[in-house]
């Protein structure tokens, strides 16, 4: 009661202070927070402590009557008893305020709830899907995009996002590649950190910053055969050098929470994995925040064959360091009894609660539990023009030009008769992607609308639907595999046009969670449509809209211009039009390899060599007899409307200290443009074999036509070393080579000894 009175008094004071000076700036002095957490902990019953470790999904419309039966009634009663520490999927200033009011005013201690939501690439105003954003290689823009997301989400009551997903993945079959930053741990770590900075800002207690969550710890991106939720079985070298680095970087940059994962990792479910959560994350890396389970991942341990019932789930998860349970009901039902039975030490509960309360204090929720529920801010900030400008900038930067033969692009405004074909061209829903949970359907600018701003000469024909029937986050898609009735009109239009822009690819709900695919070409009848149009007009610009790498060897061989436009969010159409008409010179580079054939998956540039890497025309070397080993488009690849040439690679070694690398890059074309120069390293002989190449530096910069720039990179032991199979970071002297260039396959090489 004492605490609750304090909170109310403080709130009254802050309201007064606020009216004069805007939102209050509050304390988060560490010692102060720690003391307050201890004080509160000492007042809590065992059940109240366990309550802090329990997270429920939103269960009723708080602006309506209180639930009177079933599961919702149960949850409601738990909420009023203080047995709930957090809610997810409740948003909107009014809704969150009312839910928070119950926690603060109707429970014994009045501990505020923390409200989590999947704010993945924006909340209302949507930025490109994360995989697309990563193709920008622009950390500043990515940070800003996360900032915009935090501003909008925090105005709607949200103070915690389940992002960034920092899972490295190499398999285009896995639908969740759309949510990550691709296949490279070095880039992935930096992008994860940029997102965390954007969400959390410099001051977590400010009313427009929210706690971030690095997920899914660990290995979720390595689901066997790219099938979501599948088994993960990886060796220590991959764990330490590929899977862990983005999580470690997130911890080093003070990410407030980490989510564990659905998968088993080498036989142990991540949620019950004490080695992952206690030994590595909390002890070795010194993670100070708390771990949230994934949705029901505790409960799923029964299906994994690791726990016999929910009680054992609670015991295993709590002992392993999973601090908060999302929707398994395991803790709320069993944890207090398990403590009383001596199966879980109360000290472990205290530790988890301390972590959770600390984040709540840092967010300022004890100063003002309604800090994030300001209806006025909500009204002013949602879909704000500044946010639209930021996501448009991000969208342009995310586009990757894959092919431009004969310089079909950019289109000229004076171009007569442009045919626009494809259902996705006229779609203002698909560009929002699948993780648009807080946003509103059909709010993207379609490509068709975007092109209108440039040319009145655009005529449209759908050609064919990609999907039919209902489409939604949780509904399986119904692909159009038969209906070609619109082909004739599309072909007629193409025949009389100078140039054809075809927007083909995946529906917005084709990728994302639970959306694995084995056919990663163009879904449905779209390939047939493309070939039918090609027969009458070869001047095709293929604009791809998709959430994962696609395998499109036919298109690569025949279509002169290909633009990878992903799902670019709210401002999609304008960004695509700006690139097609040359107002923006594309600068994106792929962060996942695009295979030639799905059978190559997983395919990634930073693979190991084999003992038989080459063999000419012979049989007994590591290859496919019916397909090349190479990807269709490699990691780091992307063209521009200008060209860049590389010269004068120089390497200077200061043994034991650093290696300095310099190179000259010239804009050898006729337009200004941005290049992303990439540095790759190969450790030729090591005590644990190293990949053929690893990204260890990159720079993005702009050059005017004819301009030359000298770039300098420094490699220190951090870049030159690696983790051995015991997880120790080691730096070994010896022979290395490095490549500096425009993508992971083209560049200048040099050897050196370290
Ligand atoms: C996903 C998480 C997500 C959670 C809450 C799960 O199904 O795997 O990434 O944050 O749901 O929506």
> Could you give the CA distance from residue 76 to residue 64 in angstroms, rounded to a whole number?
13
Question: Which residues, at least 6 apart from 721, have a Cβ–Cβ distance to it below 8 Å?
Answer: 729, 730, 731, 732
| b/e map 556-571, b = 16+ CB within 10 Å | beebbbbbbbbbbbbb
Distance CA 314, CA 298 (A): 7
| Cα 64 to ligand 1 centre (Å) | 27
Which tokens is 316 given? 């295993």
C-alpha–C-alpha distance, residues 605 and 587, integer Å: 20
Rounded Cα–Cα distance for residues 207 and 84 (Å): 23
pLDDT at position 646 is 98
Structure tokens at 651: 């390497």
For residues 645, 719, 652, 690, the Cα torsion angle rounded to the nearest 10 degrees is -80
* Residues within 6 Å of ligand 1 by CB: 88, 118, 162, 215, 294-295, 513
Q: How far apart are the C-alpha atoms of 43 and 41, rounded to whole Å?
A: 5
Which residue puts its alpha carbon closest to atom 6 of ligand 1?
295
Whether 641 and 409 have beta carbons less than 8 Å apart is answered as yes
CA–centroid distance, residue 2 to ligand 1 (Å):
36
Alpha-carbon span 255 to 246, nearest angstrom: 11
Separation CA 51–CA 86 (nearest Å): 9
> Atom of ligand 1 at shortest distance to CA of 165?
9
**Ligand 1: which of 153, 158, 162 to mutate, most ligand atoms within 8 Å of CB?**
162
Burial of 156 by CB count in 10 Å (0-12 exposed, 13-18 middle, 19+ buried)? buried
Cis peptide before 410 (omega within 30 of 0): yes
pLDDT value of residue 39: 95
Residue stretches of the chain with pLDDT short of 50: 1-27
- Centroid of ligand 1 to alpha carbon of 294 (angstroms): 6
Q: Ligand 1 centre from 407 Cα, in Å?
A: 43
Q: Which of 257, 258, 513, 514 to mutate to test the pocket of ligand 1 (most atoms within 8 A of CB)?
A: 513
Residue 68 CB-density burial (10 A; 0-12 exposed, 13-18 middle, 19+ buried): exposed
Count CB atoms within 10 A of the CB of residue 267: 12
Q: Is 138 a catalytic residue?
A: no
**Gap from CA of 353 to ligand 1 centroid (Å):** 22
Strands (DSSP E) found in 150-271: 160-161, 213-217, 257-260, 264-265, 268-269
Q: Give the pLDDT of residue 63.
A: 79
Instruction: Name the residue of 295, 435, 515 to mutate for ligand 1: max ligand atoms within 8 A of Cβ.
Output: 295
The per-residue pLDDT for 169 is: 96
Catalytic residue among 167, 184, 294, 578: 294
In testing the pocket of ligand 1, which one of 114, 294, 300, 473 has its CB within 8 Å of the most ligand atoms? 294
Closest among 264, 289, 284 to 200, alpha carbons compared: 289
CA distance 432 to 533: 27
Q: Which atom of ligand 1 is nearest to the CA of 163?
A: 10
DSSP state of 12: H
Q: What is the pLDDT of residue 29?
A: 63
How far does residue 326's CA lie from ligand 1's centre (Å)? 9
Closest residue by Cα to atom 2, ligand 1, is 294
283: buried, middle or exposed (CB in 10 Å: 19+, 13-18, 0-12)?
A: exposed
Q: What is the pLDDT of residues 583-620, one digit of tens each?
A: 999 999 999 999 999 999 999 999 999 999 998 789 99
Atom of ligand 1 nearest to the CA of 89: 12
Backbone angles phi, psi at 572, to 5 degrees: -45, -55
Residue of the CA atom closest to atom 10 of ligand 1: 162
Q: What pLDDT is stored for residue 430 in this prediction?
A: 98
> Which protein residue's CA is at the shortest distance from atom 12 of ligand 1?
118
Q: Whole-number mean pLDDT of the chain?
A: 95
Q: Is 21 exposed, middle or buried (0-12, 13-18, 19+ CB in 10 A)?
A: exposed
Q: Residue of the nearest CA to atom 7 in ligand 1? A: 295
Give tens-digit pLDDT for 300-323: 999 999 999 999 999 999 999 999
Report the alpha-carbon distance of residue 410 to residue 98 in Å, rounded: 52
Contact 486, 546 (CB under 8 A): no
What distance in Å separates the CA atoms of residue 75 and residue 69, rounded to the nearest whole number?
Answer: 10
What predicted TM-score, i.e. pTM, was given to this entire model? 0.96
- CA 296 to ligand 1 center in whole angstroms: 9
> Going by C-beta distance under 8 Å and a sequence separation of 6 or more, which residues neighbour residue 28?
203, 204, 205, 361, 362, 364
């Amino acid at each position: 009661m004492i605490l609750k009175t304090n909170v109310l008094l403080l709130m009254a004071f802050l309201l007064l202070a606020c009216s004069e000076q805007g939102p209050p700036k509050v304390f988060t002095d560490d010692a102060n927070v720690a003391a307050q957490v201890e004080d509160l902990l000492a007042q809590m019953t065992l059940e109240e402590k366990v309550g802090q470790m329990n997270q429920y999904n939103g269960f009723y419309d708080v602006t309506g009557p209180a639930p009177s039966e079933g599961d919702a009634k149960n949850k409601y009663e738990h909420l009023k008893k203080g047995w709930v520490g957090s809610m997810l999927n409740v948003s909107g200033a009014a809704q969150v305020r009312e839910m928070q009011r119950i926690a603060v005013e109707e429970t014994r201690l009045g501990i505020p709830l923390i409200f989590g939501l999947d704010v993945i690439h924006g909340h209302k105003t949507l930025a490109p899907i994360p995989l697309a954003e990563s193709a920008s290689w622009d950390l500043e823009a990515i940070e800003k995009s996360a900032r915009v997301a935090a501003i909008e989400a925090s105005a709607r009551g949200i103070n915690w996002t389940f992002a960034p997903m920092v899972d490295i993945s190499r398999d285009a079959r896995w639908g969740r590649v759309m949510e990550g930053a691709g296949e490279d741990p070095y880039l992935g770590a930096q992008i994860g950190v940029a997102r965390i900075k954007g969400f959390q800002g410099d001051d977590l207690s400010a009313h427009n910053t929210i706690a971030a969550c690095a997920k899914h710890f660990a290995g979720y991106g390595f689901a066997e055969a790219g099938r979501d939720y599948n088994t993960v079985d990886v060796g220590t070298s991959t764990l330490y050098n590929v899977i862990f680095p983005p999580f470690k970087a997130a911890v080093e940059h003070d990410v407030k929470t980490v989510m564990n994962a659905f998968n088993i990792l080498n036989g142990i479910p991540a949620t019950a994995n004490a080695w992952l959560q206690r030994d590595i994350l909390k002890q070795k890396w010194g993670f100070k925040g708390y771990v949230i389970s994934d949705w029901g991942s505790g409960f799923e341990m029964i299906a994994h064959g690791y726990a016999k019932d929910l009680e054992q789930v609670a015991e295993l998860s709590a002992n392993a360091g999973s601090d908060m349970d999302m929707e398994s009901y395991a803790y709320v039902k069993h944890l207090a009894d398990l403590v009383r039975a001596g199966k879980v030490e109360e000290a472990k509960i205290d530790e988890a609660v301390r972590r959770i309360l600390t984040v709540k204090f840092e967010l300022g929720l004890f100063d003002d539990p309604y800090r994030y529920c300001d209806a006025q801010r909500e009204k002013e900030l949602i879909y704000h023009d500044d946010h639209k400008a930021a996501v448009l900038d991000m969208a342009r930067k995310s586009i990757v030009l894959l092919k431009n033969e004969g310089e079909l692009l950019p289109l000229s405004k004076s171009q007569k008769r442009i045919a626009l074909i494809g259902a996705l061209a006229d779609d203002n829903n698909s560009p929002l992607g699948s993780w648009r949970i807080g946003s509103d359907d059909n709010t993207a600018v379609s490509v068709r609308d975007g092109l209108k701003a440039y040319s009145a000469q655009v005529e449209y024909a759908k050609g064919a639907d990609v999907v039919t029937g209902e489409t939604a986050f949780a509904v399986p898609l119904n692909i159009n595999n038969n209906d070609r009735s619109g082909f004739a009109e599309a072909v007629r239009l193409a025949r009389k046009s100078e140039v054809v822009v075809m927007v083909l690819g995946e529906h917005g709900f084709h990728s994302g969670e639970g959306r694995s695919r084995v056919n990663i070409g163009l879904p449905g009848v779209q390939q047939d449509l493309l070939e039918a149009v090609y027969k009458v007009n070869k001047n095709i610009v293929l604009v791809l809209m998709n959430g994962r790498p696609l395998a499109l060897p036919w298109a690569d061989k025949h279509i002169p211009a290909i633009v990878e436009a992903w799902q670019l969010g709210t401002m999609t159409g304008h960004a695509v039009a700006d690139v097609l008409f040359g107002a923006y010179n594309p600068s994106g580079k792929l962060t996942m390899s695009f295979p030639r054939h799905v059978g190559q998956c997983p395919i990634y540039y930073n693979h190991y060599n084999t003992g038989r890497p080459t063999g000419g025309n012979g049989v007994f070397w590591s290859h496919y007899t019916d397909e090349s080993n190479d990807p269709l488009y490699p990691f780091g690849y992307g063209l521009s409307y200008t060209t860049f040439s590389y010269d004068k690679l120089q390497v200077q070694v200061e043994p034991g200290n650093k290696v300095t690398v310099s190179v000259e890059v010239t804009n050898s074309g006729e337009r200004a443009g941005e290049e992303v120069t990439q540095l790759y390293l190969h450790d030729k002989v090591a005590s644990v074999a190293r990949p053929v190449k690893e990204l260890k530096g990159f720079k993005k910069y702009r050059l005017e036509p004819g301009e030359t720039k000298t770039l300098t990179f420094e490699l220190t032991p951090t870049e030159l070393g690696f983790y051995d199979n015991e997880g120790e970071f080691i730096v070994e002297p010896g022979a290395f080579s490095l490549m500096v260039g425009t993508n992971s396959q083209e560049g200048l090489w040099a050897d050196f000894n370290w």
